[in-house]
Structure 1
Amino acid sequence: MRRQLIKRYFITGLLIWVPLAITTWVLTMIIGTMDQSLHLLPAAIHPRTVLGFDIPGSGAILTLLIILLTGVIAANFIGQRLVVWWERLLARIPVVNSIYNSVKQVSDTLFSSSGNAFRKALLIEYPRRGAWTIAFLTGRPGGEMARHLAGEYVSVYVPTTPNPTSGFFLMLPRSEVVELEMSVDTALKYVISMGVVAPPPPRVAGLSGGSMINRNS
């Protein structure tokens, strides 16, 4: 009895400290990486020169300011011309152009306000009939794929658990996809936790399931 009690307390402590430790570790790595942007500053205005000591996180603030300033510049006509010139320059460099274009296509899809990537959490029957899993809407099949698929199809991403960065890309008939009310963040938590962190009940009382995905998606 005492051993079970000690084990229970120990596991409870782990459940508190492990997420906190991992969160601290990840934030430390991110802030440490962003602090490297301080090397862009002239030595005369470096915080270590001005104040005599380093300020943790000052590089993160500088990085955010650089990103914001870049967005402001790129949003006007002159900035857009500079971006086009820069992309044309990178397109002429072997190897670099393929890497840059691939990353840019993914980032445009994920971060563009007009994109459809990971905008909806879905429920699909996969990998066999009778088995269901969480998926995310990524768009519609295009190009040559669209010509070979009869009817309306949607492109979905099925993440693996507990690492959602790997998964499977599927093209499914629209009629076989069920849209869920839960947000993408909630669905990701559900996947990462391997089903332990259950999503909250639907907002509408008595609603037992999702509905077929909207045709305008």
Structure 2
Amino acid sequence: MNKLISMILKGLVAVLPIGLTIYFFYWLLATAEELARPLVLLVWPSDYYFPGLGVVTSLLLLALVGLVVNFYGIRYLMKLSQRLFEKIPLVKSIYGALQDMMTVFNLSKKTGHQSVVSLEIQGMQMIGFVTGEQMGKRLFGEQDLVGVYLPLSYQIGGMTVYVSRDKLTPLDVTMEEGMRIAVTGGVQSKK
């Protein structure tokens, strides 16, 4: 009986990550299709509709938006909407957090430097992400403190600490690998 349970658990460990990943992408595409379907039916006659056209239309629309935001007038309108969002009490918290999260994930690509670091705290090595180079200077003057975000495993949360640059050890991992290690508590399925 124990052998059977052990085999079932091994099968579950093998199938669950693959199954959940496939289901997540299926759910994401199906949801995008449902949300985009009314827009697609406004543009295309219903005779031409086929499953997947909503996703394709959404991707083309996002590419068009990406092109249009480069125009001066649109950038000005984006700044106005950003100022408006930053004045509405609950909206500014959500908007600011989402904007900061997008900045963190694109940080290493934009700056070209390694932003995954290790920070020693009471003999422990914690994985963090350099996020506040300029804010450290603004808040603490000439102390050369750097903002480091320390994520919590299996949670959406963490803390930002400002530490001296010489206390940080750059790690030779990509931002994605560092986030995966930090968020999963160091459990890795490969390498």
- Place the TM-score, normalised by the shorter chain, in its bin: 0.7 to 0.9
Q: Distance in 1 between matches of 2:154 and 2:98?
A: 26
Query: TM-score, normalised on structure 1?
Result: 0.69
Query: Quick one: which of 50, 61, 67 aligns to 2:47?
Result: 50
Q: Distance in 1 between matches of 2:116 and 2:17?
A: 25
Query: Quick one: which of 13, 16, 20 aligns to 2:11?
Result: 13
Q: Give, as a single letter, the amino acid of the residue that structure 2 aligns with 1:195.
A: G
Specify the alignment match of 1:80 in structure 2: 75
Overall identity of the aligned pairs, in %: 18
- Based on CA coordinates, which of the two structures has the bigger radius of gyration? 1
Any stretches of 5+ residues in structure 1 without a counterpart? 201-217
Q: Distance in 2 between matches of 1:104 and 1:192?
A: 18
Specify the alignment match of 1:204 in structure 2: none
Query: Quick one: which of 129, 133, 138 aligns to 2:126?
Result: 133
Specify the alignment match of 2:117 in structure 1: 122
Query: TM-score, normalised on structure 2?
Result: 0.78
Specify the alignment match of 1:195 in structure 2: 186
Query: Quick one: which of 169, 175, 178 aligns to 2:166?
Result: 175
Q: Distance in 2 between matches of 1:69 and 1:145?
A: 39
Query: Quick one: which of 162, 167, 173 aligns to 2:154?
Result: 162
**Coordinate RMSD, CA, aligned:** 3.2
State how many pairs are aligned. 187
Q: Given that residues 86 and 92 in structure 2 are in contact (C-alpha distance below 8 angstroms), is that contact kept between their aligned partners in structure 1?
A: no
Specify the alignment match of 1:214 in structure 2: none
Any stretches of 5+ residues in structure 2 without a counterpart? none
Query: Quick one: which of 93, 97, 109 aligns to 2:103?
Result: 109
